[in-house]
Amino acid sequence: MKMIVSGGGTGGHIYPALSLVEALQAQDRNADVLYVGSERGLEKNIVPEKGLKFEALKIQGFKRKLFSLYNFETVYLFLKSVHEAKKIIKDFKPDVVVGTGGYVSGAVLFAAAKMGIPTVIHEQNSVVGWTNKFLSRYVDKIGIAFDDAKAQFPEEKVVFTGNPRAQQVANIKSNFSWSEIGLKDDVPTVLIFGGSQGALKINSASVEAIPEFDKKNYQVVFVTGKRRFNDVQTALKDVTVNDNIKVLPYISNMPEVLPKVALIVGRAGATSLAEITALGIPSILIPSPYVTADHQTKNAMSLVKNSAAILETEQDLNGKSLVTKVDLLMNDDQRRKEMAANAKEMGVTDAADQLLNLCKSAIASHNK
């Protein structure tokens, strides 16, 4: 199969795309994949490192002030990117074009649809992004990871596939030991993680909580994010940090670490939840209030409603509330076990294969 994949800007769009490519390559040794991303997004560094062919388009998103020079430039760059995408598609001759979100996928999938190429988009969140909402009128098939997204798309095109990242994480064989960072393997461990850049409010609450965490019979790994590590170190300058706590800037091998985690405290981004449910990890979710349409809260509630997670709002978060909620679960092995089972039941560990089947379905419908 020849496939063009497009998704850009953030890891939430990139990693599901790469997971799909991995599933395709596992099924078809002769698969030929081209990734089309943006010049500004993280994909320009991440994708080539995976050994994939990569093309970049110059594109940007709209700003809220509708009539502005920036937005006129945005329209111009979109139209220019559509034109360039058509040339890329014509040269590569894909069997299918797949979009996983981000502005760049809007231009690429729109171009492909107008050229009569089979097209599929994947929506990772419970609230549909602007790009996928726009594309839904033109593409052949739509994969979703949350049932709540279904009503926001043309019903006849939608198939629940789950998030491809779940399959990738579920298939990783981990030999990780907590001893690698100076902790014990026979002690339950809490992971507090606010994302790769860190989350200011989660970090401040964790710093405030450390004197209490020092006294616990469980371990805590507090990941600050690279940019915020020095600030956290400064805040902890006069604070005792006992041997049951590790403060780290970043964990590069997160998929290998997650199977060893007894409880995770973090954001409710689509990729994080795909990983949590694939592995069956109890969680305390603190949705980011800074995302479009508060979609992380809606993501989180899908787990909360299934008794797989508990919710803490950023507004109510502080050191005391963090310790209280962590204690609530870490002192109740049975509840954690039940939450883990409920999370695992929600996981779609063949999500990448399901999305790949949706791509094959789009191709077949064109070949009739």
Band of pLDDT at residue 69, cut at 50, 70 and 90: low
Q: Which CATH number fits domain 178-346: 3.40.50.1000, 3.40.1790.10, 3.40.50.2000, 3.30.465.10?
A: 3.40.50.2000
Overall average pLDDT of the 201-221 stretch? 97
* 3-state secondary structure (DSSP) of residue 353: helix
Tell whether the model's pLDDT for residue 63 goes beyond 70.
no
Tokens 């789009």 belong to 362
Overall average pLDDT of the 48-74 stretch? 77
Domain locations in the chain as residue ranges: 2-167+349-366, 178-346
Stretch among 9-18, 103-112, 235-244 having the lowest mean pLDDT: 9-18
Sequence-ordered alpha helix ranges (H) in 178-305 = 200-213, 229-235, 254-257, 270-279, 295-304
DSSP state of 6: E
Band of pLDDT at residue 357, cut at 50, 70 and 90: very high
Complete DSSP assignment for 298-349 = HHHHHHHTTTSEEE--TTT--HHHHHHHHHHHHT-HHHHHHHHHHHHHH--T
Q: How far apart are the first and last CA of the chain?
A: 17
Question: Comparing C-alpha atoms, which of 305, 284, 327 is closest to residue 148?
Answer: 305
Band of pLDDT at residue 104, cut at 50, 70 and 90: very high
Tell whether the model's pLDDT for residue 64 goes beyond 60.
no
For the stretch 131-162, pLDDT in tens is 999 999 999 999 999 999 999 999 999 999 99
Q: What pLDDT sits at residue 76? A: 79
Enumerate the β-bridge partners of residue 248: 223
Which of 67-71, 74-78, 222-226, 291-295: highest mean pLDDT? 222-226
Overall average pLDDT of the 223-240 stretch? 93
pTM summary value: 0.89
Q: What pLDDT sits at residue 66? A: 58
Q: What pLDDT sits at residue 209? A: 97
For the stretch 296-353, pLDDT in tens is 999 999 999 999 999 999 999 999 999 999 999 999 999 999 999 999 999 999 999 9
Q: Which fold has domain 2-167+349-366?
A: Rossmann fold (3.40.50)
Q: What pLDDT sits at residue 267? A: 96
For the stretch 71-98, pLDDT in tens is 667 777 889 999 999 999 999 999 999 9
Tokens 């320009």 belong to 44
Count CA atoms closer than 13 A to 217's CA, side-chain side.
4
The residue that leads in pLDDT, 254 or 196, is 254
Q: What pLDDT sits at residue 74? A: 75
